[in-house]
Amino acid sequence: MKRFLALALLLAACSQKKPIVVGSKNFTESVILGEMVAQKLESAGCTVDRRLNMGGTFVCDSAMTSGALDTYVEYSGTALEAILKQPKADVAAAYAKRGLHWGPPLGFNNTFAMIVRRDDAQRIPLQSISDLAKVAAQFRPGFGYEFVERPDGWNGLLAAYGITFATPPKTMDLGLTYKALASNEVDLIAGNSTDGLIESLGLIALADDRHYFPRYDAAIVYRDDIDKKCKGASKALESLRGKLDDAAMRRLNFEVDGKKRDVAVVAHDALGR
């Protein structure tokens, strides 16, 4: 009897497949999307290990190439400019060379948004990034570390618009930037155009009138061997193609950031629709 039990346990341990590791970056939208991917895989019968909110772009990308992560949601502009550093390349072909699959686009474009307080925007006035030249002497920018370092980030923006700010940007944890802007501690931050907080905190995203930022179409990236871990995983991910437009994504972000609803519930509702 004892031997039988040990054998049964051993068999159970063997049949348990390695879980698919789902990651996300360190901001609300990425966490929601990671949760949606995880739930979709679970409903396809896969075992999932969630590693959400793990860090910035480069943390996620190096985890993917090393095999520590199996899938996460990335943006086309980020992949081309920051990861591949080949703005003109074909993203799917370039990813294929790295053993990764540039999967189904989710249907929305989340570009960087240069964000100011509404009262500043009306007083000065500010409508576009070009208008920032008017306030470069007294405006205090504040960003997360990634935006300052990225090739498609702050320095490139200054060069493209020919603006020089009097003070270097304050660098801080990405999650604190909205709070810093709302508390008048900084005057300009870089967020995402789909952030729900832009509306709810009374902020304005400036227009990129010189089209400095490329398109940032969200897509699910997964490792080529994902189906070996769970049969049907890639098919499940493929079914999310085109499921979210800009407005839908903004609404989901607001559900979490503005209404403080639980990410797992919001993701579940979004998949149910």
Partner 1 sequence: MTAEILRVTGEHMLIVAIAVGVAIIIGIPLGIYCTRNPRAGRVALRVIDAIQTIPSLALFGFLIPVPFIGGIGMRTAIVALILYSLLPIVRNTFVGIRGVDPVVRDAGVALGLTTRQLLFDVELPLAMPSIVAGIRIATVIGIGVATIAAAVGGGGLGTFIFRGVAMVDTRLILAGALPAAALALIADVVLSAVERKMIKG
Cα-based torsion angle of the residue sequence 142, 57, 192, 109 in order, rounded to the nearest 10 degrees: 150
What is the token pair recorded at 38?
């995880």
**Binding flag, residue 56, partner 1 (CB under 8 A):** yes
Q: How far is the CB of 148 from partner 1 (least distance, A)?
A: 8
What number of chain residues touch partner 1 (CB under 8 A)? 24
**Binding flag, residue 144, partner 1 (CB under 8 A):** yes
Exposure of 155 in the CB half-sphere (CA atoms within 13 A): 6
- Return the residues of window 179-238 that contact partner 1 according to CB under 8 A: 179-180, 182-183, 185-186
In contact, 34 and 181? CB cutoff 8 Å? no
Pick between residue 177 and residue 253 the one whose CB is nearest to partner 1: 177
**Binding flag, residue 170, partner 1 (CB under 8 A):** yes
Q: How far is the CB of 15 from partner 1 (least distance, A)?
A: 36
Interacting residue with partner 1 among 156, 171, 261, 268 (CB under 8 A): 171
**Binding flag, residue 175, partner 1 (CB under 8 A):** yes
Residues that bind partner 1 (CB under 8 A): 55-56, 58-59, 61-62, 142, 144-146, 148-149, 170-173, 175-176, 179-180, 182-183, 185-186
